[in-house]
Homo-oligomer: A and B are copies of this chain.
């Protein structure tokens, strides 16, 4: 069990006796769970250390202090959910379909990354105090707006969308609906029951979020009239 594979030296081998980057990642992964679960002050460094394959000392070695670790975890969280919008190939769809797809994607994407959502919630509790480094984060979110901007413009040009809809505001609205769905599911379902949070309910919500957005931007005469009560 010493070091049977002393070969492969040129490429930094995965299973090196020393593996700083691996240790870093290990810590970050565990820390993300702990922070997103318990918040900044609720998280326990000892707990993180225990669930890591390293020791507490290493956390301080790589991240300085608790806040430093938290900050990196936050950045990590934003990084983990970046992109996506770019892979949607919205340009290949007509504006209406593109917008619907964007909505549904956003809704779903949020749903699939609850720990990211929780990190953002936590950061908001702290008034966004740890986001000053936002240069990175800021850059990651521009594409979302730009994608939306493109779709809106195309829709307006082809006459199916009304004008006077601000892309930033629309992004805000889509985000609100998608974010709230994850962030407040606990309290909401406690109060009103869990119907909306079953698989069925979520599918309905997703559809209706998209519908709401579409009805918001479509010119009234382009809203498809369907059987009124379905």
A binding-site residues for B, Cβ under 8 Å: 38-42, 118, 120-128, 131, 134, 137-138, 141, 145, 162-164, 168-169, 171-173, 175-177, 179-181, 183-192, 195-196, 204-205, 208-209, 211-213, 215-216, 220-221, 223, 225, 228-230
B125 touches A173 (CB 8 A): no
Residues of B within 8 A of A141 (CB): 191-192
Whether the Cβ atoms of A180 and B190 lie closer than 8 Å is no
Nearest residue in B to A204 (C-beta to C-beta)? B169
Q: How many copies does the complex hold?
A: 2
Q: When the two chains form their complex, are residues A228 and B169 in contact, meaning their CB atoms are under 8 A apart?
A: no
Please measure, in the bound complex, the distance between the C-alpha atom of A118 and the C-alpha atom of B131, giving whole angstroms: 19
Find out whether the CB atom of B184 lies under 8 angstroms from the CB atom of A124: yes
Q: Is the CB of A192 within 8 A of B120?
A: no
Further contacts, 13 of them, CB under 8 A, given A168-B192, A169-B205, A180-B180: A120-B187, A121-B121, A121-B183, A128-B186, A163-B229, A164-B228, A171-B192, A176-B177, A176-B184, A177-B180, A212-B213, A215-B216, A216-B216
Interface centre among A121, A172, A195, A208 (most CB of B within 10 A): A172
Most B-side CB within 10 Å, residue of A40, A181, A185, A212:
A212
Would you call B183 and A39 a contact (CB within 8 A)?
A: no
Chain B residues with CB under 8 A of A137: 190-191
Chain B residues near A126: list those with CB within 8 A. Answer: 186
In the A-B complex, the 10 residue pairs with the smallest Cβ-Cβ separation, listed nearest first, are A128-B186, A176-B180, A41-B42, A164-B229, A163-B229, A220-B223, A212-B216, A220-B220, A131-B190, A41-B41
